[in-house]
Amino acid sequence: MILLAVYGTLVGAPEPTRPQPKVHAESEAPPRAHAAPSPGHLLVVGDSLAKATEAPLARLLPGWQIETSAYTGRHTGDGVADITSRSNLPDVIFVSLGTNDNPGMTASFQGEVERVLDAAGPSRCVLWANIARPPYAGVSYAGYNRVLQRLSYSRPNLTVIDWAGITRAQAGLLGSDGVHATSEGYAVRAQAIASAIANCGGVQAYGGATGVPSD
């Protein structure tokens, strides 16, 4: 279907033509103004990237009820437990998890993503940003991004925000650590999320639809 603060400690040593997934990607042009979607309820669960995106995202979604549960260094399992423990999930959920995990544990990561999709059910829109960061202990996060890509083919309630592609296409969005965004980067990330929310369940990507990159 159509995917920061001090960086947290990682656990351990930190995975023919096919249909295109729904991916929201940023073009090389500067962020453009988009009409805000009709106000609703958004749950944001994530790490320091989610924390730093909270303010610019709120400005792009006037009237929305936005609940953010995020902290620096958060691991996927903890964030997923937060989501799945809730008895009443909103119609839109944005997830920013995976950056602080062991990139070699792709099967475990896939299981966590599937838990979120199962908890959300087919009627809710789950947005998940893929991962842009250097390899950890020599292991790339491309495997995690491929997990999200594969699941987006079969799970209609998953929309991948292509943060990895966005940061490759535009210079200056990431800080010196290659993980946390600059102020411009957080603004662009927020715009990509807001655009994806406006198109939940659709196929129009912010800046154009592309496949999720492999690395």
pLDDT values of the chain reduced to their tens digit, one per residue, 215 residues: 443 332 233 334 443 444 444 555 543 333 444 445 577 899 999 999 999 999 999 999 999 999 999 999 999 999 999 999 999 999 999 999 999 999 999 999 999 999 999 999 999 999 999 999 999 999 999 999 999 999 999 998 999 999 999 999 999 999 999 999 999 999 999 999 999 999 885 433 333 333 344 34
Topology (CATH) of 23-198: Rossmann fold (3.40.50)
- Listing DSSP states for 186-204 in one string gives HHHHHHHHHHHHHTTTS--
Residue ranges per structural domain of the chain: 23-198
Q: Is 134 exposed, middle or buried (0-12, 13-18, 19+ CB in 10 A)?
A: exposed
pLDDT at res. 191? 96
